[in-house]
Amino acid sequence: MRWEGEIPSLSDAACRNAKAGDKPAKIHDSGGLYLFISLAGGKLWRVDYRHQGKRRTASLGAYPGVSLAAARKARDDLKSHLSAQLDPAQVKRQEKRTKQALAANTFEKIAREWFAAKVPSWVPSYSDRLMSRLEADIFPPLGRRPIAEIEPPDVLEAIRKVEARGAVELAKREMQVVGQIFRFAIASGRAKRDPTQDLRGALKSPGRPQHHRAMPRDDLPGFLRALDAYDGEPMTKLALKLMVLTFVRTGELRAARWAEFEGLDGPEPLWRIPAARMKMRFEHLVPIAPQVVAVLQDLRPLAGRNPHLFPSPSKEGFMSNNTMLFAMYRMGYHGRATVHGFRGMASTWLNEAGYNPDWIERQLAHDERNEVRGAYNSAQYLAGRRQMMRDWADFLDRAVATA
């Protein structure tokens, strides 16, 4: 922009060669812009202007950090604010506050706020795993950046690194988590859009979902016989027996504690799994059949004084996630069934046998969308479920006898 009646007199060479003198000096450009040279030799860009009848001076930065071209652009921006009846000093303060807010609202800061808001509804194992993934995969490339400045290619670059490890399904889940964090930022006024919405279809397809393979019913008698003859670790053998008898989730069984069992010497023994260990954060009651009590009696000497049913020197302190699965592999069931699949097998048999579907769903501890109802249902149908679990255990005994 050329200012009427003025000819820019400054050049980069003149700025570089300007020296300090006996007193501060000014080397003028056009439009009120000048380079102020202090006694110490510092070179500062300033521009004089008038607003509401008062003469004012704005500082635009130091040379050579702010070049001559950048100083002229800053001067032109200031003049544009004046033309719009805006106070340049007020505009500058607002820009400074905006930059500070952006710098404070980094992706990691918002992500940890979102995590803190959500974590009460998650089991510890899930929340720990989720935060570990964020810290390993997402925070390094995105964590320090202002969340409002992150664009779709930035997110895609971070997620592609996960995908490149062959973790295609994990990459998809992490993309979903990132989207949830952005929507949390939008709701709290710290972002305007969710860049993951522009990335639909950008990731590799995870392929056909691999569900937990349930054992065909015809294979059950042979499996139970093979389990009785299993010559591996006795604790693993008993864990598999409890898995088949109770069909709880593997994580609920592996982390089980002796303190959770009640009335083992009485007529109505019960396993009370606390809400903190349940996927849906509701206490789960498992009526215990006599066959389960017998397995627990065999297990007790192996566990000793340890509070866990299946103690281990591992970091978790109890049986690892793959111990039972590898035992099934040794028994010849690799690719034929999974540990988790016993839940599906039990559900199929109980439904076909005509048991109340509500009993079965409650025994499986499936998602209860109504929290009040879910908390109440931890004990609901307990009498019916107790008989149902005894019938299931008796069915397993008959399956072994007819194998």
Bridge partners of 273, per DSSP, are: 284
Place of tokens 């389990």: 227
Q: CA–CA separation, 83 vs 79, rounded Å?
A: 6
Report the topology of domain 12-86: Double Stranded RNA Binding Domain (3.30.160)
Domain with CATH 3.30.160.390 in the chain: 12-86
Phi, psi (deg, nearest 5) at residue 49: -155, 170
Q: pLDDT per residue over 152-185, tens digit each?
A: 999 999 999 988 887 888 888 899 999 999 999 9
Residue span(s) of the chain under CATH 1.10.443.10 come to: 217-401
pTM equals 0.51
Active site residues: 249, 279, 340, 343, 366, 376
Q: What is the pLDDT of residue 2?
A: 42
Dist CA 161 CA 171 (whole Å): 9
Q: In the chain, list all ranges with CATH 1.10.150.130.
A: 107-199
Angle between helices 124-133 and 168-187 (to 10 degrees): 90
Angle between helix axes 88-104 and 68-83 (nearest 10 degrees) is 110
Closest CA relative to residue 56, chosen from 84, 27, 78, 38: 78
In CATH, the number for domain 217-401 is 1.10.443.10
Cβ of 360: how many Cβ atoms within 10 Å? Answer: 20
- Rounded to an integer, what distance in angstroms lies between the CA atom of residue 281 and that of residue 125? 12
| DSSP classification of residue 229 | T
Distance CA 259, CA 262 (A): 8
403 HSE (CA, 13 A, CB side): 18
The fold of the 107-199 domain, in CATH, is DNA polymerase; domain 1 (1.10.150)
Q: Which residues pair with 287 in a beta bridge?
A: 270
Report the alpha-carbon distance of residue 298 to residue 307 in Å, rounded: 16
DSSP-derived 3-state class of residue 144: coil
Give tens-digit pLDDT for 227-242: 999 999 999 999 999 9
Contact 303, 309 (CB under 8 A): yes
Q: Going residue by residue through the chain (403 aa), what tens digit of pLDDT does each one get?
A: 344 444 457 888 888 888 877 888 888 887 788 989 888 888 998 888 877 767 888 888 889 888 888 999 888 888 887 777 777 777 777 666 656 655 568 999 999 999 999 988 887 877 888 998 999 999 999 998 999 889 999 999 999 998 888 788 888 889 999 999 999 999 988 889 999 999 988 887 655 444 456 777 788 899 999 999 999 999 999 999 999 999 999 999 999 999 999 999 999 999 999 988 887 678 899 999 999 999 999 999 999 999 999 999 888 899 998 899 999 999 988 878 888 888 888 998 998 899 998 899 899 987 554 444 444 455 678 999 999 999 999 999 999 887 6
Q: For residue 109, with 0-12 CB atoms within 10 Å meaning exposed, 13-18 middle and 19 or more buried, which class applies?
A: middle
